[in-house]
Amino acid sequence: MKVPGIPKGSPAPAALAVALVLALAGCSAGPAPAPSSSSPSSAASSPPASSNEALHPFDQAALEETFRETAQDVRVPGAAMLLRTPGGDLTYTYGVRSFGGTDPVTPADHVRIGSITKTWTTTVILQLVQEGKIQLDDPVADYRPDVPNGANITIEQLLTMRSGLYNYTEDPNVNQVLDADPGKAWTTDELLAAAFRHPPYFAPGEGFHYSNTNTVLLGLIAEALDGKPLTAAFRDRLFTPLGLTGSVFPEQASNAIPEPHPQGYMYGTNVLTLDDPALPEDMQKAAADGTLLPVDQTAMNPSWAWAAGSGISTAEDLATWAEALGTGKVLGPGLQKVRLDSPRPVKADDPGGALYGLGIAKFGKLYGHTGELPGFNSFAGHDPANQVTLVVWTNLAPTPDGRDPATTIARTLIGKIYR
């Protein structure tokens, strides 16, 4: 099954890339992986073959092998997958928490989930729509008069990445600061100022460009309408009702990740990979032969991503969340249908290509999102029609040749899951 991918509206890693490129293929030139420290566990030791005609029969051994081989191919230190299907469930891990270390990755590890955070923020906005506190066709200027041309940008256009607003994480100055002072606690005023000093990409509604500026604005609007910090809104509206005990939206001053957690790595710098996530050829070769080592980005303060990408979660929580997104546990049936019907091509001349909607993407039959920020890459999707859930994360992002490793692994697994 061919899975379309969304071209990066902003390059990895500093731009908090959309990381929806599932169609990438080929061999990584990254370093050889640390010795595998896999810890498989399955909810069904001998699951029945699926009778769903859309799916291959569940083959645990083949899925584990595919996951392990693809993780080795993208040469990540560690990775985890969680799969739920009608034919069987599988949780499986590969590798280690730290580059060159021996501590194995576990399914309980907490990781930074990058842009999957956007699905939290946009869901709160849609809940506020249900409550009559805001409308999709409201102009942004009604809530944020500081937004350039905000009278002509709608809330829906923020949600669907069609506002035209500049993505502040493409700003060279922002990337220079991320490299020079990774522990900096960013304010939302600083992020918006970086965005608003650039002209828009296009007039509102006249195109698609993945922009973290959209979701930061939505986070601020959600806080104002809900009368509480976004941290509390996520807790009260999403985490507590769904039992997401491993999920955290950190305070802007915090760079901590709850234990247990792996370290997160990237090669090169944010400035170096701003225009192209792939390293120069000589650096790719150095990474391959081990003379270039990855940089530990675990302690980077994610406040620069805020509502667009600073969330933390676990594989189990991401699976529960993906299923809530796909089945409507967080929205009423009417608005849930509107949301699932909303993904449309990001390129008008490529109707069979990537789809993005109201804070949600569609990968073949799966609804969800991907996330990337320096050091971590993740994928979470759910297919409500065939009852398939897939989560993958890695503790390296991107690869030296510019691939998003978790989405590359997810793409390969999807090919083994669906006929």
Cite the beta strand spans of 239-375 per DSSP E.
Answer: 265-266, 295-296, 312-313, 344-345, 355-356, 361-363, 366-373
- The answer to whether 175 and 186 are in contact (CB under 8 A) is no
Average pLDDT over residues 92-103: 97
**Angle of CA points 268, 380, 418, to nearest 5°:** 115
State pLDDT tens for residues 182-212.
999 999 999 999 999 999 999 999 999 999 9
For the chain, which residues make up each domain, given as ranges?
Answer: 60-75+97-417
- pLDDT value for 53: 86
State pLDDT tens for residues 361-415.
999 999 999 999 999 999 999 999 999 999 999 999 999 999 999 999 999 999 9
Sign of CA dihedral 158, 160, 166, 171: positive
Average pLDDT over residues 282-300: 96
Pairing of the two strands 355-356 and 344-345:
antiparallel
Confidence of residue 47 (pLDDT cuts 50, 70, 90): very low
Distance (Å, rounded) from C-alpha 171 to C-alpha 44?
48
What angle separates helix 212-226 from helix 188-196, to the nearest 10 degrees? 140
Distance (Å, rounded) from C-alpha 409 to C-alpha 393?
9
Single-letter code of the amino acid located at 393? W
Pairing of the two strands 376-383 and 388-394:
antiparallel
pLDDT for 36 beyond 60: no
pLDDT for 344 beyond 80: yes
Q: Please, is 86 exposed, middle or buried when counting C-beta atoms within 10 Å of its C-beta (0-12, 13-18, 19+)? A: middle
- pLDDT value for 51: 55
- pLDDT value for 82: 98
Cα dist from 363 to 89, 288, 325, whole Å = 20, 31, 14
Confidence of residue 349 (pLDDT cuts 50, 70, 90): confident
| Among the listed residues 53, 50, 49, 79, the one whose alpha carbon sits nearest the alpha carbon of residue 66 | 79
Single-letter code of the amino acid located at 37? S
| Among the listed residues 254, 248, 274, 266, the one whose alpha carbon sits nearest the alpha carbon of residue 112 | 248
376 phi and psi, to 5 degrees? -140, 145
81 phi and psi, to 5 degrees? -135, 150
Q: What percent of the chain has pLDDT over 90?
A: 85
Distance (Å, rounded) from C-alpha 153 to C-alpha 203?
9
Supply 106's token pair: 């576990």
The pLDDT mean for the chain works out to 90
Confidence of residue 52 (pLDDT cuts 50, 70, 90): confident
pLDDT for 3 beyond 80: no
Neighbour-count burial for 384-409, b at 16+ CB within 10 Å, e otherwise: bebbbbbbbbbbbbbbbbbbbbbbbb
Confidence of residue 288 (pLDDT cuts 50, 70, 90): very high
Confidence of residue 23 (pLDDT cuts 50, 70, 90): very low
Cα dist from 385 to 43, 119, 347, 366, whole Å = 21, 20, 26, 9
- pLDDT value for 20: 45
Single-letter code of the amino acid located at 246? G
The answer to whether domain 60-75+97-417 has CATH 3.40.50.200 is no
What's the whole-model pTM score? Answer: 0.90
